[in-house]
């Protein structure tokens, strides 16, 4: 089998739950959809995305440049594919748009590999289980007040989720930050895990001060409490608190993740599929964390992570953020607080061509 061509297009999907962050209101996600077509008629799919159209053209341009490395390649020869991508990208990477572009193409190649061998990607990776734990993450935003937080958290539990994540770090008054965690815990009870995400918003001092206040509410983890490059600060917070510290989503490639592990700056390592270079990069990150006896969790893209977490030995839970579900007729199913691994070959996803047509940019 050879890859004959790689097509790309931009699909603008509205967010089911719009939200506001420090950069403004966010209402849609631009997906750069990749289709790698072969001489045997099989098509592998991958994608990368941007929020509210930020950097969409640049990201698509990067994918369109890198995709030339796939043409003429056998998708089973993954090493050759990776070498080809590196050959084109080495002068402008690692990191940033170029790594995200590589990730989209890498996922398409893995999808092709599964389709060629008629196996789910989870099986190619060495499946251990058929369902993986997941947590509700599409909501509980910083612009939500206490009543809205409590109502939405309870609604996720009613849907079957056994874990939810809220955002903190947007309040000047520390008492209001504590109240946010309190109302969510009271809404879901003590049988449901609660995580809190700061998105790099605090100094180490504030993270320790508020983290100690949060401990009575039994947080499963406190995420990205300090800026991503403050490794010493993160390590200090991790030492000071009983709440596990989770970080890593903002780091590209392995060097930043390794430094977090070396400096004992995390108790749980979060890995971003697009920023680490796709499935191939994710497997390296998971193995790296395993060597440090540190568990890993995912960031976004549950459609792909469900396969990875079905196979790796140190995966805790997959972030349920269905921003890309609208691309597919059959996104992974939520069953009793877990995501079911699709049974079809490759990623097991069928594109919703009619919806794609309507939202094509």
Which pLDDT band holds residue 22 (cuts at 50, 70, 90)? low
CA angle 49, 344, 300 (to 5 degrees): 25
* Nearest of 241, 183, 193 to residue 218 by alpha carbon: 193
| Ranges 13-22, 174-183, 344-353: which has the least confidence | 13-22
For the chain, the C-alpha Rg in angstroms (whole number) is 20
Is 20 a residue whose pLDDT tops 80? no
* Nearest of 275, 226, 265, 223 to residue 246 by alpha carbon: 223
Per DSSP, the chain holds a count of helices (H) and strands (E) of: 12, 13
- The string of pLDDT tens digits covering residues 238-278 is 999 999 999 999 999 899 999 999 999 999 999 999 999 99
CA atoms within 13 A on the CB side of 222: 36
Contact of 360 with 9, CB cutoff 8 Å: yes
Is 220 a residue whose pLDDT tops 70? yes
Contact of 312 with 318, CB cutoff 8 Å: no
Residue ranges of domains in the chain: 3-118, 123-353
| Ranges 13-27, 67-81, 94-108, 216-230: which has the least confidence | 13-27
Domain 123-353 is in which class?
alpha beta
Q: Which tokens go with 188?
A: 């879901």
pLDDT of 164: 98
In this structure, is the dihedral angle defined by the CA atoms of residues 48, 49, 54 and 60, taken in order, positive or negative?
Answer: positive
List Cα–Cα distances, 313 to 67, 259, 292, 298, 316, in angstroms: 32, 22, 13, 14, 9
Residue 273 DSSP label = T
| 3-118: CATH topology | Enolase-like; domain 1 (3.30.390)
Q: Which tokens go with 54?
A: 């930020």
Element (H, E) at 298: strand 296-299
pLDDT, mean over the chain: 96
Percent of the chain with pLDDT over 90: 92
Phi, psi (deg, nearest 5) at residue 101: -65, -45
Give the pairing type, strands 131-136 and 43-51: unpaired
Which pLDDT band holds residue 183 (cuts at 50, 70, 90)? very high
Sequence-distant (6+) residues with CB within 8 A of 33 are 8, 9, 10, 11, 45, 47, 327, 356
Complete DSSP assignment for 187-228: HH-TTSEEEEE-TT-S-HHHHHHHHHHHGGG--SEEE--S-T
User: Count of residues for the chain?
Assistant: 361
- The string of pLDDT tens digits covering residues 109-155 is 999 999 999 999 999 999 999 999 999 998 899 999 999 999 999 99
* Nearest of 124, 164, 166 to residue 310 by alpha carbon: 124
Rounded Cα distance, 295 and 205, in Å:
26
Contact of 292 with 263, CB cutoff 8 Å: no
């Amino acid at each position: 089998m050879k890859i004959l061509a790689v097509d790309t297009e931009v699909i603008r999907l509205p967010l089911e739950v719009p939200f506001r962050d420090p950069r403004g209101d966010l209402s849609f996600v631009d997906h750069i959809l990749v289709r790698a077509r072969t001489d045997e008629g099989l098509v592998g799919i991958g994608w990368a995305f941007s929020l509210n159209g930020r950097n969409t053209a640049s990201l698509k341009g990067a994918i369109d440049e890198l995709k030339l490395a796939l043409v003429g390649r056998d998708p089973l020869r993954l090493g050759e594919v990776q070498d080809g991508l590196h050959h084109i990208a080495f002068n402008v990477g690692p990191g940033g748009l170029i790594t995200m572009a590589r990730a989209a193409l890498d996922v398409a190649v893995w999808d092709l590999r599964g389709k060629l061998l008629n196996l789910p990607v989870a099986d190619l990776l060495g499946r251990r289980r058929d369902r993986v734990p997941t947590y509700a993450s599409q909501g509980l935003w910083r612009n939500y007040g206490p009543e809205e937080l409590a109502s939405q958290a309870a609604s996720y539990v009613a849907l079957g989720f056994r874990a939810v994540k809220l955002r903190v770090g947007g309040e000047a008054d520390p008492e209001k930050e504590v109240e946010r965690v309190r109302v969510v815990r009271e809404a879901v009870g003590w049988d449901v895990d609660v995580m809190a995400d700061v998105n790099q918003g605090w100094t180490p001092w504030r993270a320790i001060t508020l983290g100690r206040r949060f401990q009575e509410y039994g947080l499963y983890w406190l995420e990205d409490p300090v800026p991503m490059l403050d490794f010493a600060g993160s390590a200090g917070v991790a030492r000071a608190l009983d709440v596990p510290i989770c970080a890593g989503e903002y780091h590209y490639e392995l060097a930043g993740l390794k430094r977090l592990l070396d400096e004992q700056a995390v108790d749980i390592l979060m890995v971003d599929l697009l920023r680490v270079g796709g499935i191939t990069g994710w497997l390296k990150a998971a193995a790296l964390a395993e060597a440090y006896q540190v568990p890993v969790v995912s960031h976004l893209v549950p459609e792909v992570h469900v396969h990875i977490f079905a196979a790796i030995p140190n995966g805790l839970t997959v972030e349920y953020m269905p921003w890309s579900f609208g691309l597919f007729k059959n996104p992974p199913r939520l069953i009793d607080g877990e995501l079911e691994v699709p049974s079809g070959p490759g990623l097991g996803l069928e594109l919703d061509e009619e919806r794609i047509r309507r939202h094509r940019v």
